[in-house]
Structure 1
Amino acid sequence: MMEYRLLENSDLSVSVITFGAWAAGGWMWGSTDRNDAIEAIRAAYDLGVTSIDTAPIYGQGTSEEIVGEAIKDFRRDEVQLLTKFGMRWDFAEGAFAFHSKNNQEEAIEIYKFAGKDSVIYECEQSLKRLGTDYIDLYQIHWPDSTTPLDETFEAVGRLIEQGKVRYAGVCNYDAKLMEEAGRTLNLVSNQIPFSMVNRGVEEETIPYCIKQNKAVLAYSPLERGLLTGKIHPGYSFKSGDHRANLPHFQPDFIDRTNILLERIKPLADDKGVTLSQLVLRWTVERPGITIALAGARNAQQAVENAKSMNINLTDDEIEFVNAVVDAF
């Protein structure tokens, strides 16, 4: 059964497995099949995944359009739309982030920018693509070093007053930035990377969120597919797949990760579940983690992710997995 958790300081209840729609947009994942992505979202919804996380930058609007298409027949109050702002590819302003290519293989430049007018413009565009008149959780995608925090969050505050946004969150913020931004606007959440092999946020950011009653939305809990057990040294990625050059996808790191996975595989086998499902269940049992964002490119993956919540782990089993992860 799917579980739901309330984001503290809000009345927003989200599914513990939230559909992460980055790969659905194709960008940086070696293209996407639009129909497969729509089916994935609908299949997840049928199993209680009511929350969907997307962003304009994912496919330069493609992911949000796919989400809008997928939910058009759902009752709007039964789905929670989480999207973002602050990464522009359509004009050069703010802090340069990186060079990339769009889904048509054309060169683009990405900028982190969250000036007032830009935030309001981005919100209007997202509402159109999503086919809705409000966003449940509006999150800044990355810190923008070129805009004062109060300017950015006053703009989000205005969107909340207008009813276009229900709640505000941040992504990739450390404790210090969260505290500073929180002086302007009540922030309910921080979306940060967290996985068995990437736990840096447990040092400072998660303890801060626990203390301040902020929800933690863990992204890349399967470390972009690395923790599925399907990646091996020499794995060949499609053209345009960003993972090929990441440190976590180099042979040494893949080998180390697969040793970790071999150690927990007997537990997955015993439960009759996949490694991915065990990893997702463990993730949402971690102190401070509110939900896990799990991406899927097709219905089968989406169903597998949703069913991870059917697993029951005893305290002893969680301790066993913790010990293996700590040893890593």
Structure 2
Amino acid sequence: MAGAVKRIKLGSQGLEVSAQGLGCMGMSAFYGPPKPESDMIALIHHAIDNGITFLDTSDVYGPHTNETLLGKALKGGYRERVELATKFGIINEDGQFLYRGDPAYVRAACEASLKRLDVDYIDLYYQHRIDTKVPIEITIGELKKLVEEGKIKYIGLSEASASTIRRAHAVHPITAVQLEWSLWTRDAEAEIVPTCRELGIGIVAYSPLGRGFFSSGPELAENLSKDDYRQSLPRFQAENLEHNKKLFERVNEIAAKKGCTPSQLALAWVHHQGDDVCPIPGTTKIENLNQNIKALSVKLTSEEIAELESIASADAVKGDRYGGTISTHEESETPPLSSWKPS
């Protein structure tokens, strides 16, 4: 399977990544108990050896333990072979998420991530969620300094509105915007995706398999462990799941005709959104990783894409993405720069 993964330019600032990345969150956090470290290191090595070189983590995964895991996995010559992305800006205080983007915090978070990852620089450093108390220009100004110091190479934003992206990009070029994009989450298509394309910003699609929904269907909800974060998400609640099951069944039918799995079809649909889009499905199993790589070779006709998009319209899904537990691009407007008074 080596060499099966093509490379793409992510954004217009020079970053090149594998056309599919690997989301590492579930190895350490949110999706049930942490997985055995040696197994996860073997999985990461398998991904890299098979051409998946774009690795995605965050300081809030664990917290901190996922970055430490990646630091260990990248020993022995692996660091030079990957594009490493991490994020700052979310603090998890007993299940309550707080957001910070003030300059002192940005710098301290970056230094701490470099230490945990045990690397000299971070390829792509995202603001994980926008701090709506701090003008975006102030946050990006500090990130720009970190670029100039060589601590980070490229700047990204996650869950940012079109206007926030524009304001950020005016301070320093934004290389990538991370957003949720899949057959059951398409709200970014209206404004955010066109804005990224106009500005030459790459798009990183997280949860392209609907947090596992397109892999397992409604059965997924029955098999989640007590401490799996998805238990609390509106789309996995019984009354919504019954409705959402219809979408999975239709995707499953089309996949059967194509001779692929529903998850490969869902992932292929994201890949077909453009060469500026890099999905980062997460997994903790080598077998699933191999299946995800094969999605790159699933070719869809324009008729098949149209059929998928007609069954994955706005009313096909019931339930919010997060149900108020964490902010999204809809709550990412920041105050004007003129209002900023440093403490």
User: Which TM-score applies when normalising by structure 2?
Assistant: 0.85
Trace 1:22-33 onto structure 2 (pairs within 5 A): 22-26=25-29, 28-33=30-35
Mapped contact 1:81–1:137 kept (Cα < 8 A): yes
In the alignment, is residue 162 of structure 1 matched against residue 149 of structure 2?
yes
For residues 73-114 of structure 1, what are the alpha-carbon distances to aligned partners after superposition, in whole Å with 9 as ceiling and x for unaligned? 23433200011111234xxxxxxxx641xxxxxxxx542112
- Tell whether 2:42 aligns with 1:39: yes
Native 8 Å contact 2:264 2:292 kept in 1: yes
Matches within 5 A, 1:179-328: 179-232=166-219, 235-287=222-274, 290-326=277-313, 328=316
Distance 2:182 2:117 in 1: 29
Three-state SS of the structure 1 residue aligned to 2:27 is: helix
SS in 1 for 2:175: strand
How well do the aligned residues superpose, as a CA RMSD in angstroms? 2.0
Distance in 1 (CA, whole Å) between partners of 2:76 and 2:303 is 43
**Percent identity, aligned pairs only?**
30
**230 and 322 in structure 1: CA distance in 2 versus 1, 3 angstrom threshold:** closer
Q: 1:299 to 1:234 in 2, by over 3 A?
A: closer
1:121 to 1:234, Cα distance in 2 relative to 1, 3 A: closer
Quickly say closer, same or farther: Cα 1:233–1:279, change in 2 above 3 A: closer
The structure 1 residue matched to 2:54, chosen from 51, 60, 63, is 51
8 Å contact 1:232–1:254 — kept in the other structure?
A: no
Deviations 1:138-188 (A, max 9, x none): 110001012232221111111111111111010000001111112221111
> Distance between the aligned counterparts of 1:241 and 1:168, measured in 2?
30
C-alpha contact (below 8 Å) 1:226/1:254 kept by paired residues: no
Note if contact 1:48-1:306 (Cα within 8 Å) is conserved in structure 2: no
Q: Report how many residues are paired.
A: 311
Name the one with the larger strand percent. 1
In 2, the alpha carbon distance for the partners of 1:293 and 1:217 equals 7
CA distance in structure 1 between the aligned counterparts of 2:149 and 2:170, rounded to whole angstroms: 20
CA distance in 2, matches of 1:149, 1:324: 37
Output the amino acid matched with 1:158. K
Distance 1:70 1:324 in 2: 40
- Where structure 2 has 5 or more consecutive residues not aligned to the other structure, the ranges are 317-343
Aligned to 2:328: none
CA distance in 1, matches of 2:94, 2:275: 34
Please say if residues 221 and 231 of structure 2, whose CA atoms lie closer than 8 Å, have aligned partners that are also in contact: no
Partner of residue 145, structure 1: 132
Local SS of the residue matching 1:191: strand
Task: Please say if residues 84 and 141 of structure 1, whose CA atoms lie closer than 8 Å, have aligned partners that are also in contact.
Answer: yes
| Farther-moved stretch of structure 1 (193-202 vs 1-10) | 1-10
CA-to-partner distance for each residue in 1:270-312, whole Å, 9 max, x for gaps?
A: 4432211111111121258611111011222222222211222
For 2:156 and 2:220, locate their aligned partners in 1 and report how far apart those are by CA, in whole Å.
Answer: 37
Contact 1:218–1:289 (CA<8 Å) still a contact in 2? no
Alignment of 1:79-94 (within 5 A): 79-89=82-92
Q: Which digits, 9 at most, give the CA deviation of each residue in 1:192-212, with x for residues without a partner?
A: 111111111111111211222
Question: Does the CA contact (< 8 Å) of 1:19 and 1:294 recur in 2?
Answer: yes
- Aligned partner of residue 101 in structure 2, secondary structure: coil
SS in 1 for 2:170: coil
> Are residue 7 (structure 1) and residue 10 (structure 2) matched?
yes
Provide the C-alpha distance between the structure 1 equivalents of 2:288 and 2:61, rounded to a whole number of angstroms. 19
Structure 1 248/70 Cα, relative in aligned 2: closer, same or farther at 3 Å?
Answer: same
Whole-Å Cα distance in 2 between the matches of residues 310 and 255 of structure 1?
31
Match of 2:63 in 1: 60
Secondary structure of the equivalent of 2:98? Answer: strand
Report the residue type matching 1:125 in the other structure. A
8 Å CA contact 2:43, 2:286 repeated in 1: yes
Deviation at 1:30, TM superposition (A): 1.4
TM-score if structure 1 supplies the norm length? 0.88
Deviation at 1:119? 1.1
